[in-house]
Amino acid sequence: ERVSNLEKFTPNCFQKDMVIRTEKGTEITADMVILCTGIKINSSAYASAFGDKMASNGALRVNQHLQLEGYENIYAIGDCADLKEPKMAYHAGLHANVVVTNIVNSLKNKSLQAYQPGKATW
Average pLDDT over residues 91-120: 93
User: Residue 38 above 70 pLDDT?
Assistant: no
pLDDT tens sequence across 47-101: 999 999 999 999 999 999 999 999 999 999 999 999 998 888 889 999 999 999 9
Full-model pTM: 0.67
> What is the Cα–Cα distance from 62 to 113, expressed in whole angstroms?
14
Helix, strand, coil abundance in the chain, percent, nearest 5: 25, 15, 60
Q: What residues does 60 pair with on adjacent strands?
A: 54, 81
- In a 3-state reduction of DSSP, which class is residue 28? strand
